[in-house]
Chains A and B, each alone.
Chain A
């Protein structure tokens, strides 16, 4: 028996397909005491890592001039939904070079429609 098939029900089917260079809105469920609210973390995907239930991705954004990166488990129940805002055109699967970019050079060309 394979470990991935045994845990398959934990894989969330509603997650959209995306890859490095895309701009995402990640809707996070934040629990404060008994209250639950939704917070949006939007930024550029730096990398998508792993397979199966343990798949994760890293999103980078600039918050008040400071670079912030968050690593999310793709199948985490704390993620309400993921919206793919922009499809980026990049050549690398993991765009670590993006961390060194500021201002004008920190732009990613949009992918042509139908050519993901």
Chain B
């Protein structure tokens, strides 16, 4: 099993075995449980659905609505706060209830990490798309961060679909590919991942091992 869910705890410095200093993101990953298995016969694709962060308190699941509690009852697991699906080949052969933890990963492994980036709100074209600023001198007036021309003339007499304009920025799904695991603390379910990762602290991250 090469996938896991994690919670971003924050960033720190880390000295590698050779003494070099690396920026690391510290992630609390797992333990997770397989809640549902999707097969080609039944669902036309194969995937596993895994749950992360237990909602069980004193042998009872708390704050779970009826449809979801039935879903967890069918799987025979406790209720979870987060459910995410992973598609990969051979997923259909997994058994429901299998526990997933960081021991499936090794230090030095390369992984892909998917998360939701921080929301930036309504932003102009300069920040959102990296458009250039207009000149500050030579007669520029009223407009310094505008997008400039947004189209042609009589034809097409409209603005093309997908034209880059101001709008909501951030809160997008972002995948960072090929990042290295520098350290694993199995007893605390902690992994140190080199570099920065999408999203705010306490954000949920999907982690999968890179195919060799």
Contacts and interface: CB of A to CB of B under 8 A. Distances in A.
Given A1-B190, A76-B21, A53 B28 contact: no
B190 A73 contact: no
A54 B9 contact: no
Interface residues of B, number: 15
A3 B14 contact: no
Q: Which of A7, A10, A54, A78 has its CB near the most chain B CB atoms (within 10 A)?
A: A7
A42 interface: no
Given A1-B28, A6-B26, A73 B13 contact: yes
Contacts of A2: 9
A10 B9 contact: no
Interface string B1-25: 0000000011111110001010000
A39 interface: no
B55 to A, nearest CB: 19
B146 to A, nearest CB: 39
Q: Which of A2, A6, A52 has its CB near the most chain B CB atoms (within 10 A)?
A: A6
Q: Which of A3, A53, A75 has its CB near the most chain B CB atoms (within 10 A)?
A: A3
Given A1-B28, A76-B21, A6 B15 contact: no
B185 interface: yes
A3 B10 contact: yes
| Interface band, chain A | 10 to 19
A4 interface: yes
Contacts of A6: 9, 12, 26, 185, 188, 190
A1 B10 CA distance: 10
Contact of A76 (B10, B15, B28): B15
A66 to B, nearest CB: 26
Given A1-B28, A1-B188, A1-B190, A7 B14 contact: yes
Interface of A: 1-4, 6-7, 10, 52-54, 73, 75-78
* 8 tightest Cβ-Cβ pairs between the two chains A and B: A54-B13, A3-B10, A77-B19, A53-B13, A3-B12, A3-B26, A7-B12, A73-B21
18 contacts: A2-B9, A3-B9, A3-B10, A3-B26, A4-B12, A6-B9, A6-B190, A7-B14, A7-B26, A7-B192, A52-B12, A53-B13, A54-B12, A54-B13, A73-B15, A76-B21, A77-B15, A77-B19
